[in-house]
């Protein structure tokens, strides 16, 4: 009878000891393994995301490298990273002289404060920054028409936002126009330059 009690006690002690080991050693190990598996799955998802970005970057780099250096220079001229406001004012003065009009004033109003400027559009593309200029000229109808033609032939886009045309004495027209020039990065401060 004594051996039955000792055997029963040892079996109960062994069961209690195995349950204690299970709760104190094995359960924390399983929890650590679960956390490690979660970390590994997050790492794998991030690694896949980085691989996709690297693949996209590689394809865009190969497209950029396939463009001839002369074309890259022309593209940088057409849509520069920054707008040289003094250069644009100079170009507008030269274009006015070539068209034969008399320019009355050229003013730079700085960067436009439009809400869509330099923000991502619905398609995810960054919209260029708009820089505003005001040009006032006088000339004949043919000279004004030639001025607009020279705007279209410029190396970078000059967009006319609006124009006010008034007839003057002697068949001359006075034109007050607001123009815009674009760049992809904001590098100019909003200062007003008048010539």
DSSP 42-109: HHHHHHHHHHHHHHHHHHHHHHHHHS-HHHHHHHHHHS-SS--HHHHHHHHHHHHHHHTPEEEEEEEE
The backbone torsions φ and ψ at residue 7, rounded to the nearest 5 degrees and listed phi first, read -65, -40
Tokens 């027209």 map to which residue? 173
* Two structure tokens written together for 64: 């950029």
How many residues does the structure list for the chain? 195
What lies within 8 Å, CB to CB, of 102 at 6+ separation is 96, 137, 138, 139
Bridge partners (DSSP) listed for residue 107? 134, 194
Q: What is the pLDDT along the chain (195 residues), one digit of tens a residue?
A: 555 666 777 878 888 888 877 778 777 888 888 888 889 999 999 999 999 999 999 988 888 788 788 877 777 777 777 788 888 899 999 999 999 999 889 888 878 766 544 444 555 555 778 889 999 999 999 999 999 999 888 888 888 999 999 998 888 999 999 999 888 764 444 444 444
pLDDT of residue 5: 66
Enter the DSSP assignment of 9: H
Element (H, E) at 11: helix 2-21
Please classify residue 154 by burial: count the beta carbons closer than 10 Å to its beta carbon, then call 0-12 exposed, 13-18 middle and 19+ buried: middle
φ and ψ at 45, to 5 degrees?
-65, -45
Residue 137 DSSP code: E
Output the pTM of the full model: 0.55
Sign for the CA dihedral angle at 156, 77, 129, 136 comes to negative
* β-strands 158-167, 193-194 pairing: unpaired
Distances (CA, A) of 186 to 93, 106, 146: 24, 22, 32
> What are the φ/ψ torsions at residue 179 (nearest 5 degrees)?
-115, 155
């Amino acid at each position: 009878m004594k051996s039955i009690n000792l055997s029963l006690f040892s079996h109960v002690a062994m069961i209690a000891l195995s349950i204690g080991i299970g709760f104190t050693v094995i359960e924390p190990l399983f929890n650590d393994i679960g956390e490690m598996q979660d970390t590994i799955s997050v790492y794998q998802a991030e690694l896949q995301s980085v691989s996709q970005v690297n693949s996209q970057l590689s394809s865009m780099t190969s497209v950029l490298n396939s463009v001839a250096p002369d074309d890259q220079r022309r593209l940088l001229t057409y849509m520069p990273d920054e707008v040289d406001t003094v250069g644009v004012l100079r170009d507008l003065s030269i274009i006015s002289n070539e068209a034969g009009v008399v320019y009355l004033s050229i003013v730079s109003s700085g960067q436009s404060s439009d809400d869509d400027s330099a923000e991502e559009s619905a398609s995810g593309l960054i919209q260029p920054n708009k820089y505003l200029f005001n040009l006032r000229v006088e000339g004949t109808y043919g000279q004004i028409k030639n001025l607009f033609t020279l705007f279209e032939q410029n190396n970078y886009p000059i967009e006319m936002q609006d124009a006010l045309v008034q007839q003057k004495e002697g068949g001359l027209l006075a034109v007050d126009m607001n123009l815009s020039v674009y760049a992809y990065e904001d590098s100019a401060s909003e200062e007003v330059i008048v010539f």
